[in-house]
Amino acid sequence: MLRIHFTPRDLARTTVSTSPAPLWEILLSLHMLQHQDGRLVFEDWRRHVRATVAPDQMRLLLELTPAWGYSPDFLTPAEAPSDFETALEMTLSTPRQTVRNQLALLSKYRPVSPWTRELATGDRVAMNRLGRALRTYHDAAIAPYWKSIGTHVSADHSHRGESLARHGVDQLLSTLHPRVRWAPPVLQVLDMNDRDLYLDGRGIELQPSAFCWRAPTKLQDPELRPILVYPIQHAPGILRPSGIETTSGSDALGSLLGSTRAAALEAAVSGCTTTELARRCKISPAAASHQATVLREAGLITTRRAGASVLHEVTQLGIWLLSGHGSGTPRTLPPPQRLTG
């Protein structure tokens, strides 16, 4: 079990990321590609990736990302922004000694290949090959699904933000994930290696992720900026490629709710005031207020006061409807398996 120790200063510096982190989604998706779990959520995506990414490019990435155990921290820089190209440049600019040390640690989990040996020496050709492989993989496995991933991560952030605003950081940490326990001042993360992480006033960033599965994860090096990556609630349809309409896509949702109301529901994913709702849907404020009332009475959004305005936010039922899984009830996830990190 990982034990994260908070001080009062750390609690004040605890944040929830507003957007997905592209390099974390790449890393964790490479793990999911090697698993058989979550077929309802990931199987169509797995088939697409395996048919699209060239085997030689995939081989390079899988050498660095074993299904279980350690993956090098330089693949997910602690300070990386949400922009993929900028984040990738940070990875490719990792100091040579850091790359060497982390690949030495990786060698405990899998044999060293000629390519990883070259990478460890700081060889620029090897690092450029890594950059090309990451770009190719991102373009095939992440970019087509980025809008859908962003929608669900934004919705998770809205729910966490509401919890924080209404009930404080204790409630936020207590409800983060079923495999996380908040025993103040320690956050216990089950299914991770037995260790202690002292935040020492640095705070922690909570990063929601679509490809994180069953249990949270983090960077290995305790000296790096503390980040805890945790799974959002998974549902079939969470990985819906952009530009592809299906019976569970926006046309069907518009037929069910009406195009304006469907647009209002999507606008509420990231949270919006009535004025913002009117602007996004290109309707009058009075019409926006009416649409919000209908959605709220149907249990698809909530409305709360935020200063002089009111804030509309999507509910979990609304997310399931947007995901193309509006009928039925959420499926219970299988028991977790032990992860390291």
Residues 228-262 as b/e (b if ≥16 CB within 10 A, e otherwise) read bbbbbbbbbbbbbeeeeeeebebeebeeebeebbb
pLDDT by residue for the chain (341 residues), tens digit each? Answer: 999 999 999 999 999 888 899 999 999 999 999 988 888 889 999 999 999 999 989 999 999 998 888 899 999 998 888 899 999 999 999 999 999 999 999 988 888 888 889 999 888 899 999 999 999 999 999 999 998 888 888 878 877 877 777 788 888 899 888 889 999 999 999 888 889 999 999 999 999 999 998 889 999 888 889 999 999 877 766 788 875 444 444 555 666 678 888 888 888 876 789 999 999 899 999 999 999 999 998 888 888 887 788 888 888 778 767 755 433 333 333 333 333 34
Q: Are strands 301-306 and 272-273 parallel, antiparallel or unpaired?
A: unpaired
Among the listed residues 69, 63, 60, 78, the one whose alpha carbon sits nearest the alpha carbon of residue 24: 78
Q: How far apart are CA 130 and CA 102, in angstroms?
A: 15
Residue 279, judged by CB atoms within 10 A of its CB (0-12, 13-18, 19+), counts as: middle
Q: How far apart are CA 292 and CA 274, in angstroms?
A: 8
Which residue, chain included where needed, has tokens 């899998």? Answer: 110
245: left (phi over 0), alpha (psi -120 to 50) or beta: beta
Our CA dihedral for 320, 146, 229, 97, rounded to 10 degrees, sits at 170
Q: 3-state SS of 74-104? A: HHCCCCCCCCHHHHHHHHHCCCHHHHHHHHH
DSSP structural state of residue 289: H
89: left (phi over 0), alpha (psi -120 to 50) or beta: alpha
Contact between 223 and 246 under an 8 Å Cβ cutoff? The reply is: no
Q: List the beta bridge partners of residue 2.
A: 189, 195
Chain-centre distance of CA 305, in angstroms? 28
DSSP reduced 3-state for 276:
helix
